[in-house]
A and B are shown apart, each in its own frame.
Chain A
């Protein structure tokens, strides 16, 4: 069974641009969550989706948005990029919701802002 796939693996953008990152969960998984990982702030929660509905959102500005499609694939978008948005963006998928559901992480997208 294929794992969680995140594309692209690396991305370089300049300030002010926008970017879209993609996460394809394991087949049969309906829940997708996103995290931002930086050396200074560690791992911070961005969003959580289940069956196309956003269940939860972290404390990030409105420039960060996301969505989930009917096939459970999820995208996150960051507009008006800032230098501080440089980070590793990780997504995780699970069959359902709850701490008893094994979470599977992708390899992440490394976003660099110049």
Chain B
């Protein structure tokens, strides 16, 4: 079975500062994908970043980057130059390479303070 753990229920950051959201997971799979999704009050789940487990290089998307430690089963998200629009729930998720089912963490509520 796959489990995803987000140990920070709530976080806050000053506008323009950097914040890191933590995520750990457990799996016996060797090939899989990891994701960070953002869910603003509008409810729609928006993909922030995706990491393929067989790629050692950490994924980056503009102000968003991850620190993927496969041996430690850790997948943290760093948001640089935080903006007010980054305020949302952030979910870490796991998917097997051949599957189509997400395993989600419990989420971290991020507030960006002006």
Q: Which residues of A contact B (CB under 8 A)?
A: 31, 33, 35, 42-43, 45, 48, 50, 55-56, 58, 88, 90, 92, 94, 97-103, 105-108, 110
- Bound complex: CA A14 to CA B32 (Å): 41
Min CB–CB distance A24 → chain B (angstroms)? 15
CB of B28 within 8 A of chain A? no
Q: Which residues of B contact A (CB under 8 A)?
A: 32-33, 42-47, 52, 91, 95-107
Contact between chains at A98 and B107 (CB < 8 Å): no
Contact between chains at B104 and A48 (CB < 8 Å): no
Main secondary structure, interface of B, reads loop
Contact between chains at B98 and A98 (CB < 8 Å): yes
Among A42, A48, A103, A110, the residue within 8 A (CB) of B107 is A42
Among A35, A98, A108, the residue within 8 A (CB) of B97 is A98
Q: Chain B residues with Cβ under 8 A from A101's Cβ?
A: 100
Contact between chains at B47 and A103 (CB < 8 Å): yes
Contact between chains at B100 and A56 (CB < 8 Å): yes
Contact between chains at A31 and B102 (CB < 8 Å): no
Given contacts A42-B106, A43-B91, A107-B42, contact A102 B47 (CB under 8 A): yes
Given contacts A100-B33, A105-B45, A108-B43, contact A43 B102 (CB under 8 A): yes
Q: Chain B residues with Cβ under 8 A from A33's Cβ?
A: 100-102
Min CB–CB distance A79 → chain B (angstroms)? 23
- Bound complex: CA A90 to CA B102 (Å): 12
Among B32, B44, B96, B102, the residue within 8 A (CB) of A35 is B102
Contact between chains at A99 and B97 (CB < 8 Å): yes
Contact between chains at B44 and A99 (CB < 8 Å): no
Contact between chains at B101 and A48 (CB < 8 Å): yes
Among B47, B97, B100, B105, the residue within 8 A (CB) of A48 is B100
